[in-house]
């Protein structure tokens, strides 16, 4: 008979959230509501200068305009979070609805991706999730794999939308054509993504699949930029040669609303909102810092910024992690698609050395679930609904062995096993959710 050492943390989630949610500005912190209804994020600063997109010429103005145009108000930001949560660090950008990170002011949300419930992520290399594969599936008339969760009509409409987008992208393969069309670089090259070139004057005009607000370019020599990228000037690119790698959309909540956008056909387009994002510090990188630290480093802070969506339709950068994935493994630094997830997982400072993490995402206990005796295993709930981690099976529960109780979104549950063996677990709220933890030396 195995013995257990079970430590539950963070499951008293409806106590005070105040200490766990950093307020980006102190004014909002002092006017906050009582702890049980503590807002998930604070509103953008009210004193920013209004920038006319037509007049936005410098990179600072471009950043200001994007931050203003795509900012959520307090209510819009709060809609994305069930109330009364106590966040703990966890999640994986591009793989989970929520990502919470820790910085000097505590744990803050940094990303929300997908609808509140019912997220479909097509990131499985065995499924036809890339633009090219979806188009081939549509042309073949073959049955649609259940993992895509769409009808033949929806697939046909999606492929038509993406084909129109592909034509726009390929017409701007030359970065100079983007500059001539009014796109400007944010000068930040992100790994497995590239640099966003915004058409500022298109940001407020709604969704058109053939007219993305953003084109993505990466350095043509396959290296990462050393510092901030150059810029379009007078309709021409002034920097190193660039390759078109993808497209993206940014549609402000004022234009499309606070709820998850209904745009591309089918459920694969998971739009995201950035929270507590520090864009473009002096090194030309995105980071996650409190507002004051961000601005001290020359960055542009956004409390909440969205809605945004990548669409990987460039001919040479077909994305095995999905046409709407966060990351594209074929973009510098080129990587094994399967390895990207591990490199993106967020762990908290409360994770002991050598701890393993399983994200509870999209109603699955994901990850390896193989540990050594005594090795801590953290289950991190990054769905928008509560789950449990309970010993046994739905037909034969063993609550006395271990039971997390209600794990609200953003909560961790730590467990370790002293003896080798195979341990069953399930979710008491969703009996389809079952998993096995393998413990071996
Ligand atoms: Cu569950």
Give 232 Cα–ligand 1 centroid separation in angstroms. Answer: 49
| Averaged confidence pLDDT in the chain | 86
**Residue from 186, 167, 150 nearest 64 by CA:** 186
CA distance linking residue 161 with residue 312, whole number of Å: 12
Residue 416 Cα, ligand 1 centroid: separation in angstroms?
20
433 CA distance to ligand 1 middle (Å): 6
Interval between CA 178 and ligand 1 midpoint (Å): 46
**pLDDT over 90 (residue 159):** yes
Q: Can you tell me the mean pLDDT for 391-405?
A: 97
Which sequence spans correspond to the domains of the chain? 4-10+372-439, 45-350
Distance CA 419, CA 371 (A): 11
Distance CA 243, CA 217 (A): 5
CA of 269 to the centre of ligand 1 (A): 23
226 pLDDT more than 60 = yes
pLDDT of residue 48: 43
How large is the average pLDDT for residues 128-155? 97
Cβ contacts of residue 110 below 8 Å, gap of 6+?
93, 99, 100, 101, 274, 275, 276, 277, 288
CA of 379 from ligand 1 middle (Å) equals 12
- pLDDT confidence of residue 47: 40
Span of 27-31, 54-58, 340-344, 362-366 with lowest mean pLDDT:
27-31
Ligand 1 centroid – CA 216 distance (Å): 37
Is the predicted pLDDT of residue 431 greater than 80, yes or no? Answer: yes
In sequence order, which residues have a C-beta less than 8 Å from that of residue 292 and are 6 or more positions away?
Answer: none
Task: Return the ∠ at Cα 301 (arms to 298 and 303), rounded to 5°.
Answer: 170
Q: Which DSSP category does 316 fall into?
A: G
Measure 43 CA to ligand 1 centroid, in angstroms. 32
- Of 107, 140, 146, 129, give the one whose Cα is nearest residue 18: 107
- State residue 2's pLDDT score: 39
Does the structure show a pLDDT above 50 at 25? no
Distance 92 CA to ligand 1 centre (A): 19
β-pairing, 194-198 with 356-361?
unpaired
Cα angle for residues 262, 247, 59 (degrees, 5° grid): 110
Supply the pTM of this predicted model.
0.86
Question: How many angstroms does the Cα of residue 427 sit away from the middle of ligand 1?
Answer: 5
Whether cis (ω within 30° of 0) applies to the bond prior to 166 is no
Average pLDDT over residues 126-142: 97
CA of 394 to the centre of ligand 1 (A): 12
Cα separations in angstroms, 91 against 97, 108, 109, 359 = 8, 12, 10, 7
CA 412/CA 158 separation, integer angstroms: 37
Q: How far apart are CA 41 and CA 64, in angstroms?
A: 19
The structure tokens listed for 265 are 């056909």
Q: Give the pLDDT band of residue 4 (cuts 50, 70, 90).
A: very low
CATH number belonging to the domain at 4-10+372-439, selected among 1.10.3720.10, 2.60.40.1180, 2.60.40.420, 1.20.1250.30: 2.60.40.420
Residue 66 backbone dihedrals phi, psi, to 5 degrees: -60, -45
Q: Are 179 and 169 in contact, with CB atoms under 8 Å apart?
A: no
Residues 153-166: what's their mean pLDDT?
98
Which one, of 425, 359, 365, lies nearest residue 391 by Cα? 425
Per-residue pLDDT band for 19 (boundaries 50, 70, 90) equals very low
With vertex at residue 251, the alpha carbon angle to CA 20 and CA 194, rounded to the nearest 5 degrees, is 80
**What per-residue confidence (pLDDT) applies to 278?**
93
| 85 pLDDT tier (thresholds 50, 70, 90) | confident
Return the DSSP state at 384. S
Contacts of 52 (CB under 8 A, 6+ apart): none
- For 70-84, 169-183, 244-258, 376-390, which range has the lowest pLDDT when averaged over its residues? 70-84
Say if residues 184 and 63 touch (Cβ distance below 8 Å): no
**Per-residue model confidence (pLDDT) at position 54:** 52
Q: How many CB atoms lie within 10 A of CB 135?
A: 21
DSSP, collapsed to helix, strand or coil, labels residue 167 as: helix
pLDDT of res. 118: 85
Candidates 261, 223, 264, 268; CA nearest to 241 is 223
At 13, is the pLDDT very low, low, confident or very high (cuts 50, 70, 90)?
A: very low
- The predicted pLDDT at position 231 comes to 86
pLDDT at 361 over 50: yes
Confidence class of residue 51 from pLDDT cuts 50, 70 and 90? Answer: low
Query: What are the backbone angles phi and psi of residue 230, rounded to the nearest 5°?
Result: -80, -160
Q: Are 429 and 390 in contact (CB under 8 A)?
A: no
The predicted structure's pLDDT at residue 3: 38
What pLDDT sits at residue 24? 31
Per-residue confidence (pLDDT) for residue 53, from 0 to 100: 58
Indicate the DSSP class of residue 354: T
């Amino acid at each position: 008979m195995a013995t257990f050492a079970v430590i539950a943390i963070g499951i008293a989630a409806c106590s005070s959230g105040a200490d766990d949610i950093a307020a980006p500005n102190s004014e909002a912190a002092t006017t906050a509501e009582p702890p049980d209804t503590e807002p998930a994020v604070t509103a953008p600063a009210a004193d920013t200068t209004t920038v006319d997109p037509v007049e936005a010429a410098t990179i600072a103005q471009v950043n200001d305009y994007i931050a203003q145009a795509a900012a959520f108000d307090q209510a819009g930001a709060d809609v994305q979070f069930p109330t009364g949560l106590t966040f703990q660090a966890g999640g994986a950008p591009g793989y989970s609805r929520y990502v919470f990170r820790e910085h000097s002011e505590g744990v803050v949300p940094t990303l929300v991706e997908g609808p509140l419930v019912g997220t479909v992520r097509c990131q499985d290399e065995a499924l036809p999730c890339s633009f090219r594969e979806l188009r081939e599936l549509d042309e073949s008339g073959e049955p649609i794999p259940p993992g895509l969760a769409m009808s033949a009509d929806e697939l046909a409409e999606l492929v038509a939308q993406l084909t129109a987008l592909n034509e726009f992208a390929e017409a701007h393969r030359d970065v100079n054509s983007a500059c001539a069309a009014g796109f400007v670089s944010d000068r930040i090259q992100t790994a497995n993504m590239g640099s966003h070139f915004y058409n500022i004057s298109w940001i407020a005009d709604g969704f058109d699949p053939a007219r993305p607000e953003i084109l993505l370019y990466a350095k043509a020599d396959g290296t990462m930029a050393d510092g901030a990228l150059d810029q379009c000037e007078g309709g021409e690119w002034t920097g190193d040669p660039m390759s078109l790698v993808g497209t993206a959309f940014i549609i402000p909540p004022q234009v499309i609303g606070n709820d998850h956008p209904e745009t591309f056909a089918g459920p694969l387009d998971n739009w995201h909102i950035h929270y507590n994002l520090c864009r473009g510090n002096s090194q030309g990188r995105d980071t996650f810092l409190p507002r004051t630290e961000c601005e001290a480093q020359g960055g542009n802070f956004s409390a909440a910024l969205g809605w945004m969506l990548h669409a990987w339709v460039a001919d040479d950068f077909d994305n095995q992690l999905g046409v709407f994935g966060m990351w594209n493994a074929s973009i510098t630094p080129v990587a094994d698609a399967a390895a990207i997830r591990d490199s993106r997982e967020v762990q908290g400072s409360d994770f002991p050395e050598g701890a393993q993490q399983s994200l509870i995402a999209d109603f699955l206990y994901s990850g390896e679930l193989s540990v050594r005796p005594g090795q801590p295993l953290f289950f991190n709930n990054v769905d928008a609904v509560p789950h449990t981690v309970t010993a046994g099976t739905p037909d034969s529960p063993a609550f006395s062995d271990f039971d997390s109780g209600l794990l609200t979104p953003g909560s961790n549950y730590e467990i370790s096993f002293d003896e080798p063996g195979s341990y069953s677990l399930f979710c008491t709220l969703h009996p389809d959710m079952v998993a096995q933890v393998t413990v071996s030396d």
